[in-house]
Amino acid sequence: MGDLTVPATTHPRTTAYDVLIRPRRSLVRSTFLSVVFSAVPLAVALVWVSLPLQLWSLVATVVVAIAALVGIVFVRLGTAFIGIDPTSVVIRGVVTSDRRVARDRVHAVGLATTYGSAIERTSRELVAFDAEGAPLFRLGATVWGEDGLDRIVDALGVQVVEDRRPMPAREFARRYPASRAWYEQRGPIVLVGALAVVVVAGLLLLETASLFGN
């Protein structure tokens, strides 16, 4: 889901663009199915297990907060788009703010194929650069699809540099460090990991104290 640009100053509309790209339908469908058949049963199970420990109110609060965040992300996924008109590129991302980039600032486009833990599972990344070589925005085929990236490249009509050799995602991040979105920075990752550890440790301590108390 990586995309990075400068902030937009106006709210984008989806009705007057020469090219309009939406997130992959399969991504929206798989996200919905994951929430319905995985997240919901897990949340119900957590609340049910917490009832004997008199922690149900705390667990329910956490579950409701997480559900609200998931709902926001799902709504953003359903309304996300990339619009290109003669003067600008407008991006409404999934977990990033609405942004607008003047089309004449896009000087070149770089395409790269990346992979995570397994080289068999690759994904293309698009990074747009200005005349000085600074990244303007980054888009991934995981969200926008291979065909979506091809349509963006064709619509921009600028110089394209493509590295067809698959590279690890970490190497891509080192090569284009300024293109990383906020959620790919080390700070947010460490913060989320620390919060998860604190929550799990707190639940384990409370459960242990309850068992010894009985």
* Structure tokens that stand for 61 in this block: 């609060």
Domain boundaries, the chain: 19-23+80-191
* Closest among 156, 183, 11 to 81, alpha carbons compared: 11
Cα separation, 25 vs 179, in Å, equals 25
Instruction: Match 């010894």 to its residue by tokens.
Output: 212
Cα separation, 89 vs 156, in Å, equals 9
Mean of per-residue pLDDT scores for the chain: 78
| pLDDT of 75 strictly over 50 | yes
Cα separation, 200 vs 207, in Å, equals 11
Cα separation, 134 vs 138, in Å, equals 11
Predicted confidence (pLDDT) per residue in 92-122, tens digit? 988 777 889 999 999 999 999 998 877 778 8
**Which residue has better confidence, 183 or 143?**
143
* Closest among 184, 15, 164, 187 to 96, alpha carbons compared: 184
CATH match of 19-23+80-191 with 2.30.30: no
User: 0.85 cut: is pTM over it?
Assistant: no
Predicted confidence (pLDDT) per residue in 15-62, tens digit? 589 999 999 888 777 777 777 777 777 777 766 766 666 667 777 777
* Structure tokens that stand for 120 in this block: 């068999």
